[in-house]
Amino acid sequence: MFESEQNKFSDDEKKMTFSEMVKFLVLSILIVLPIKYFVAQPFIVSGQSMDNTFHNGQYLIVDRISYRFAEPQRGDVIVFRYPRDPSKYFIKRVIALPRETIEIKDNEVTIFNDKFSEGFKLKEPYIKSWDKNSPYIKEKLGENEYFVMGDNRDNSSDSRVWGVLSRNRITGRVLLRLFPFNKIDYLPGKQEDVNETKSEI
């Protein structure tokens, strides 16, 4: 069978092609790894603790850089290393901030801080269900400590179970939801109305 010269690669061309491929792979690694470890990181939701805000199998991008310049805020959805097993990542919502006191009573959350010494109750429209009676909790947070909970309060292992979350365990906040495609969103689950709004106690 006749084979045209156009379909043939010389040894030099093959070497150049292989060389370019290696350069491309090295360049990709040099670009992707810093982005993954310092800028953004993919995360797949596992479990039901954040229903209905996030569901099992959803694909998220976690912003790793913002908290280098600012502190986590109440209402942020964050990904962090599980305090009892740092090899695992959890996703929860920030409920109480450093130096605040949190009280959980009759399935209601009250926050005490310098601005609201008498406390204010959180409005939490994101909660899927909270039918099970949570035990009474009142805890003063120290420097760099956060109290986090899942939106599905009846099915979430969170600060009510294993205690406060240290700042150094936080990986970042949820920046994007990329899958499923009909749920694509920027800062998904972000709630502004949980912040510093006084209500009757």
- Please identify every residue annotated as catalytic: 49, 92
CB 63 within 8 A of CB 72: no
**Separation of alpha carbons 142 and 75, rounded Å:** 19
Distance CA 108, CA 120 (A): 10
* Whether 165 contacts 34, CB under 8 Å: no
Coil, helix or strand at residue 7: helix
Please answer whether residues 89 and 43 qualify as being in contact, where contact means their C-beta atoms are separated by less than 8 angstroms.
Answer: yes
- Cα 140 to its chain centre, rounded Å, is 23
Run of H or E residues at 11: helix 11-34
What gap in Å lies between CA 75 and CA 27, rounded to an integer? Answer: 38
Which sign, positive or negative, has the C-alpha torsion 49, 67, 167, 148? negative
Backbone φ and ψ of 174, nearest 5°: -75, 120
- What CA–CA distance (Å, rounded) separates 130 from 44? 24
